[in-house]
Each structure stands twice: as C-alpha cells, then as structure tokens.
Chain A
Amino acid sequence: MFRRNLSPPTRLRLRQVLTAIAEAEVADELGRDDLAGVPLLAETVVVLERRLLGMPAHFAAGMVGLTLIFDRSAVLTDGAPYRLLPLAKRRVAFARLRGLPLGPLGNFTTFFDKMAPFIFWSQLEEHGQIQTVLGESAS
C-alpha cells in the first residue's frame, strides 16, 4: 500500500487538499456554495482518500503528487493554496482545470469528477440520507 510511505505531514496536507476538492465537487453536485448542513462530507473525504491511496502504487504516487502540486499552483492563479480558498473560488479553480488540454493528466480531474460524486451519493445511500439531500420528491 502506497499510504505506508507517506510521512505524517504529507498525509495531513493531502487530507486537507482532498477535503477542499471534495467539497468543491459536492458543491457542484448540489449547485450551491454553502454546504452547511450537508451530511457525510467528512466520511466522503475519508473514503476518497482510501480510494486514491488504494490504487496501484505508481498511479497513487502520481495522483498524490499531482494533488499536492495542484494545491500549490493555486498560489500563482488565485493568490493562495487551493485548500485555503473560499468554496466558490475552489469550484471555479477546479472547473478551470477541467477546461485545460491536460492529455494524460486529464485522469486527474476525471478521478475526482467521477469518484467524489459516486462516494458522496453512496455514503448518503448507505446511511439512508439521500432523500434528506434530494428532497421528498426523490422518493
């Protein structure tokens, strides 16, 4: 498992950036910049991290590296590391990344665009809270 090779400070930083990305993805899912009261976000991040670090070691290493570089690159584009940006700015910054011709690096955005929503809605389903988020009409 690749996770065994991460130092505690790197692991902490990774968790912070994953939290920031996951919140932006969930905000996109729900179409809003305020996630107050949205359940199971922390659980979503935990599972997202487990998924990322559970990939084959060479992919996991690449994804961790790209995630941390993406965090730092926001200093140049938005004036602060990605994890410290307000949610609305994070949504814009990640959407900007989707629009770039990334080639093979497109796997980076695809991973989060696919896995974060899947994990979030799976968590809601598992805990019986989908209707809380979607509303009664979803029954």
Chain B
Amino acid sequence: MKQFSSDVLVIGSGPGGAMTACTAAEAGRDVLLVEEGSHHAVDSAPSFSLAEMDQKYRNGGLNVTFGGTSITYLEGRCVGGGSEINAALYHRPLEKTLREWQAQTQIRGFEPEALWPHFEAVEADCNVNLVRGGNGPASALLRRGAGSMGWSTREIARFWNYDGDAPIAGLSRGRQSMTVTLVPRAVRAGARLLPDTRVLRLLRDGKRVTGAVGERTVNGEREKVEFRAKDVFVCAGAVQTPRLLRRSGFTHNVGDTLQLHPMIRITARFREPINDLGYGVPTEQVDQFKPELTLGCSYSSIPHLALWMGASLGNKQARLRDWRRTGIFYVAAVGTGVGRIRDLPLVGEPLIRLPLTTADLARLGEGLLRLGQLLFAAGAEELSSPVDGAPPIRDVAALEGVARVLPQGRMPVSTIHIFSSVPMGEDDARTGTDSFGLVWGCDNLRINDASLFPASPAVNPQGTVLAVARRNVMHFLHG
C-alpha cells in the first residue's frame, strides 16, 4: 500500500479545495491535494462538447435525483472540479442573502462587511472580468426584450481573461478555472497534487481524524493508498462530501438538507440572426425577479439546440438550418425542495431523493411566462415548449396555457448548482459543522465547499464557494 503524509490533506480540487490548498500552501503548510478525476488542460476539449463530458464530467453528465420529477445534475470529476465545466459566471450574493444565512444557522463572523474582502481577493486572484466591447447579439436581445417589458438586466462577469483575445467560440481559451489559477499557484507554493485518486474512507481515532484510505489509478492499474495528516479538509462538493463523511461515520446533519437551483430550458427562433457562437456563453441576465428567478441565454451550438428543441418539434432539420436565428434560453429558480443523500448498499452509488415541489413548479412556470413574454417582445416567432411532447408556442396566450400548470415528471429539469448538504453555523441542531466548517464532534476535520451553505445563494455559487473557502481556511491558519 502506497502511503502519503502531510500537514494538511485536502480532498477535492474544485473551487473550495483549490482555494484551501493554495491558501494553506502559501502560508507554508505541507499540503497534499487529492482529486478523484484526472488532470486535463483547460483547453483539452471544446467547452460543453461530448469530449469534454467524457473527460471532465462525473458519469458523462448523466446523474439524476429521484422525486416526482427527476432532476439531472452535473458534477465535475477532474482537477478543478466544477470550475472546469460550468459557464464561469461570477456573482457576489446579495447582502440580504448573507444576512439571512447568518441568522438562519447563527454563523459567527459572517457579516457581509467581513466577507467582501474575500470576494475582492477572489475577483483579483481568479481574473473576474466583463466582456470587452459588448457581449453579443443574444445578450443584446435579452436587454431589448427586458427593456420593452420595463425589466432590468445586468451583464454578469466571468472567470475569464479577455486580454488579447476576442471571446472564443465554444473553446476554453481565456477560462480562468482552477487548473489555470489556484491549483498551479498551490503547486508553486509546494503543494503536492495527486489526481486519479479516490478517497474511500476517513480514518478516525476518537475526536481526531488521522488520515484516510483510498485507491489510485496509475497506468490503468488500481493501487491502494493511505494518507496520514494532522488536519483534513473535505472539499468534494455538495454530493460527494456528505457521502464520504457518512461512509466514515460522521452523520450528524450530514446529507439531510441538500438544495439546488432547478432549471428549465426552451429554444426561441427570431426573424434576425441572434446566435453568435463567438461570444460563447451569453452573459446578460434578467435580474428583475432575483433572487427567486433568473432568466438568461445559454450556449447555443447546433447539438445543444437539437438537445433542447425536444422530440415534438417536427421538421427539426429545417429548424436547425435556422440556427443563427435561434437560441437556448433558461429559467433558473431558487428551489424549495430539500433532499437527502445516501449511498445505495452494494452498488456504491449515491441515491438522492429530492422533490420538485408544487412551489418549484409554480415558480418555474412564472419564470417561463416572464421569459416567453420577453422573447415575444423581442421579436421571437416561435418557442419550443419545455414540456415533453407539447407543440411549439407561437403566442402569449399559448404561453400562458403552458406556464400555468407545468406538469410533474414530464419536463426535463437540470441543475449544476447544488449545495447545503452539510450546513455550517453555531446552531448544532441544524448544522453539521461550526461557523468555519469544523465538523461537530471532531477536532481536525473540516468541510470547505458548497455543502456549507445554509441555503441557496440565489446566484451562481462558484464565487461564494471561493470566498467562503478563503474565509474558512484563513480562520484555520490564523484563528
């Protein structure tokens, strides 16, 4: 059995783990950063392509929850985790959200004014920028439609370096993911990175974790590995973190409160060209209905248009010929359902039971109505329906009919925003860790990822994961 020892063992190299490893290594700690997936260059495959799904997504992107409606959720499984595969959008959460979190689970030292410096550091460290010279025709269309309705929109910054580059179509050049920013910084500061290594169980001795056991794949062969460490951070994401904790005997408020942002998508065809892949992910969002609802536009290549047009649209070939006049638009909601994560016996896979509630369906329906109104106001000729088998929508009256009662179980719902599976705070009846991620009942085991969020951040969570992780690891280092 191969053995490794370190001062600090960090499990998971997504935003939370990369920030933890980088900050600890730069403070002079001996850090080992372990990642289940492989190490790929940021531009090893075109963004959102099948090749990228094979390389960087867990199970090729096909993970689903159980409930009245199955929700497909995406997880990165590679060095850099979710930062390698998401839209790289950056938000600060609303001050109101942070104060609600603080009150909800009694988090110490979580005043917004104490957190903003961490967000500022993230924005500098990870190259958060706006698109130079306008953000493309789909974004302009969203602005125009929202303007017609009297609604506000905002350009969302991205983890992206535009220096010397126009925005690049579907490629990853410019993406400031963890493999470009914090992971190499951690390695330069002396951290050791161990990809292709899955941690199976934490080793526990009374109130301390002494290390972990796992397996590593080298040249296609698996070997057992053992880790010894003074301090352990689990940063494997809101699904894998509670699974590892539960397998290791830590169960108090672990994996019982998972939440997510359910999302539905439609396609819309216009009279004029609106789809320019050169801009990648359109960065304009309608923020009139935040925090409950976000409306926006997705990357709209021909394969993705085919995916979201649905099976019921006839003559799809002709519709795809019009790809320049067609885009994919989304409604993302703050979900109200709370789910449980458990490992299936024998199979070794997670079983997530999470209901898409009646309130969620009503909220998504309201979002669909608003989005459709905006798109028609902006000149849309036709919308696809989010409901399987339903005909296309050609006017607001038909839109109202679809949006009024979205059906349970007959509509593809997906998410890449998952959180709150081990919430933090001083209220130990509701939390799995203290205010800085230290697991209750253990002196040296910490969590530092989206699992810690007491509730939805109501925005893309990556910026908040990074800022909260920075806060927590600095508390660990400096008190």
Q: A residues touching B (Cβ–Cβ < 8 Å)?
A: 28-31, 47, 50-51, 54-59, 98-99, 103-104, 106-107, 109-110, 113-114, 117-126, 130, 133-135, 137-138
Contacts and interface: CB of A to CB of B under 8 A. Distances in A.
Interface in B379-412: 388-389, 409-410, 412
Interface residues of B, number: 37
A117 B388 contact: no
B3 interface: no
Given A98-B389, A130-B302, A107 B62 contact: no
Interface in B23-71: 49-51, 54, 59-60, 62-64, 70
A134 B321 contact: yes
- 5 closest Cβ pairs, A-B complex: A121-B303, A113-B311, A117-B306, A56-B349, A118-B307
A107 B70 contact: yes
Contact of B349 (A57, A104, A126): A57
10 contacts: A29-B306, A30-B316, A55-B60, A58-B344, A98-B388, A107-B64, A113-B388, A114-B412, A119-B50, A134-B321
A121 B50 CA distance: 10
B323 interface: yes
B317 A31 contact: yes
Interface of B: 49-51, 54, 59-60, 62-64, 70, 301-304, 306-307, 310-311, 314-318, 320-321, 323, 344, 347-351, 388-389, 409-410, 412
B306 A118 contact: yes
Given A56-B62, A106-B388, A138-B320, 17 more contacts: A28-B311, A29-B316, A30-B317, A31-B314, A50-B54, A54-B60, A55-B59, A55-B62, A56-B347, A106-B410, A109-B311, A113-B310, A117-B303, A117-B316, A126-B50, A133-B317, A134-B320
A58 B410 contact: no
A108 B399 CA distance: 27
B50 A106 contact: no
Contact of B304 (A28, A118, A123, A135): A118
B347 A58 contact: yes
B281 to A, nearest CB: 17
A57 B347 contact: yes
B62 A125 contact: no
B50 A98 contact: no
